[in-house]
């Protein structure tokens, strides 16, 4: 069923797939020869590699740049397509204050690096508490402002009403 060939180097008979096409050299022998060839010409290969270093680096830099463009395009598309979902996610993070979010706020406000921030878990804990407290204060201040506004609003309405009443009264007097 399977075709076989005999290697003219090692003399073993093996299935055809274990030979390079149109040769009588089995893959094991070919690999051994390549290894030997490399060992015997190691300096030449290494010198070639060294000579091509700049070109090789250039190629990998270019490929990296291409990939970066692609990735940026792809994430821009994703952002556009999932704008609502992302907003909801962001709102949730602002609400829940997970470590990653608090760390980001710390980084922005202090210029510390991610590594610095995560080195001190108690810093994250303390900053989270600070944010919660600040929000409570802001909430209290907002409530107070709202209260003042309502009071002022009521006063104006009352004054207006009184004014109208008095003008009505004064007309009656005339």
Least distance from C-beta 14 to Zn ion, angstroms? 8
User: Please, what sign has the CA dihedral across residues 90, 96, 100, 103?
Assistant: positive
What pairs with residue 13 in β-bridges?
6
Q: Which residues of 63-82 are buried (b: 16+ CB within 10 A; e: fewer)?
A: eeeeeeeeeeeeeeeeeeee
Distance CA 55, CA 61 (A): 10
Would you tell me how many other CB atoms lie within 10 Å of the CB of residue 103? 20
Nearer to Zn ion, 23 or 113 (CB): 23
Least distance from C-beta 10 to Zn ion, angstroms? 3
Binding Zn ion (rule: CB under 5 A), the pick from 2, 4, 5, 7 is: 7
Site for Zn ion in 65-84 (CB under 5 A): none
Residue span binding Zn ion (CB under 5 A) among the ranges 7-15, 119-127, 136-144, 155-163: 7-15
x/- map, 11-40, Zn ion, by CB under 5 A: ---------------x--x-----------
Residue span binding Zn ion (CB under 5 A) among the ranges 1-9, 35-43, 98-106, 107-115: 1-9
Distance CA 132, CA 97 (A): 9
Nearer to Zn ion, 14 or 104 (CB): 14
CA distances from 27 to 14, 42, 43 (A): 10, 22, 25
* Number of residues this chain uses to bind Zn ion (CB under 5 A): 5
Binding site for Zn ion (CB under 5 A): 7, 9-10, 26, 29
């Amino acid at each position: 069923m399977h075709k076989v060939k005999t290697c003219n180097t090692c003399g073993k008979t093996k299935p055809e797939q274990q030979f390079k096409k149109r040769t009588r050299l089995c893959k094991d022998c070919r690999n051994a020869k390549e290894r030997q060839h490399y060992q015997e010409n190691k300096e030449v290969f290494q010198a070639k590699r060294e000579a091509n270093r700049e070109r090789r680096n250039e190629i990998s830099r270019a490929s990296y740049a291409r990939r970066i463009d692609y990735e940026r395009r792809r994430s821009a598309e994703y952002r556009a397509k999932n704008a609502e979902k992302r907003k909801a996610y962001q709102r949730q993070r602002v609400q829940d204050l997970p470590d990653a979010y608090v760390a980001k706020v710390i980084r922005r406000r202090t210029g510390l690096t991610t590594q610095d921030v995560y080195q001190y878990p108690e810093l994250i804990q303390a900053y989270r508490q600070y944010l919660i407290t600040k929000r409570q204060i802001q909430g209290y201040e907002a409530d107070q402002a709202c209260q003042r506004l309502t009071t002022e609003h009521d006063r104006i309405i009352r004054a207006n009403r009184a004014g109208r009443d008095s003008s009505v009264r004064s007309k009656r007097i005339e």
